[in-house]
Amino acid sequence: MTYLLVYISGVMSGFLNVIGGGGSMITVPILIFLGLPPVVANGTNRVAIMAEAISGTLTYKSKGYFYPKMGLMLSIPAVIGSIIGTFIAVGISDDAFNKVLGIIMLVVLGLILVRPEKKFLSGIEIMEFMGKRKIIAMIAFFFVGLYGGFIQIGVGFLMIVALALLTGMDLIKINALKTLIVAVYTLAALLVFMTNSRIDWGIGLVLALGNGTGAFLGSHFAVSKGEKPIRIILAITVIVMTGKLWGLWL
């Protein structure tokens, strides 16, 4: 039953990630509610994130959206930040993690509903950073990696806004670049969680399988149905889960 619930939550997460993001807001709380210590739930979720990011990167590459030079440049500071953030995540207490997780879930839910990144998706497209823009980009992605290493939830929105402001690229190119960077820094985070024994590999692999299934279903059916009903369901789910994490109800 546990593996079935993990698989279902993975399907939901993959589906949400395809149509708008925020899938980890489902999987991390579910793993905690199923009995995993919060830090282990956080680490185990990275197995699915890694699998999804690799799959997405290969898909984008096959369609001609692959930017290794820019991706590597931004991945270096992101990896450094990710390692620091992951060590913070490994050392935090379970109660503190639950409180922080609840706050972050509500903030990310607001970003999902409002979608502020859309107004930044315009401007002159820049495919190579130079001078001050390069320094700003590397500093920005150090902090993106720091946050991603710590908790991951909603990091995609931060990256979309940062890349839109820094590059002016369209959303397809941004998502391709974002997916590549996530794959690189998640590997670093995964290694830290793994060396600190903060991963349940059985559950992680089932979750990854669920994420893959959800991403497949989402890519085929979600666009035609629209995002609005999914966002409403997500909002209700996040509010219920946040209340549970904060101990507001049983």
Q: Over the stretch 179-203, which tens digit does the pLDDT of each residue have?
A: 899 999 999 999 999 999 999 999 9
Distances (CA, A) of 138 to 134, 135, 154, 202: 6, 5, 19, 36
Return the percentage of the chain with pLDDT > 70, whole number.
83
Indicate the average pLDDT of the chain. Answer: 84
122 Cβ contact partners less than 8 Å away, ≥ 6 residues apart: 168
Residue 196 identity (one-letter amino acid): N
Rounded average pLDDT over 152-163: 83
Distances (CA, A) of 71 to 11, 47, 206: 28, 21, 29
Contact (CB, 8 A) for 223 and 60: no
- Whether the per-residue pLDDT at 212 is higher than 60: the answer is yes
Query: Dihedrals φ, ψ of 100, to 5°?
Result: -65, -40
Q: What is the pLDDT of residue 228?
A: 63
154: left (phi over 0), alpha (psi -120 to 50) or beta: left
**Of the candidates 189, 165, 147, the residue with the CA atom closest to the CA atom of residue 53:** 189
Q: How confident is the model at residue 236 (pLDDT cuts 50, 70, 90)?
A: confident
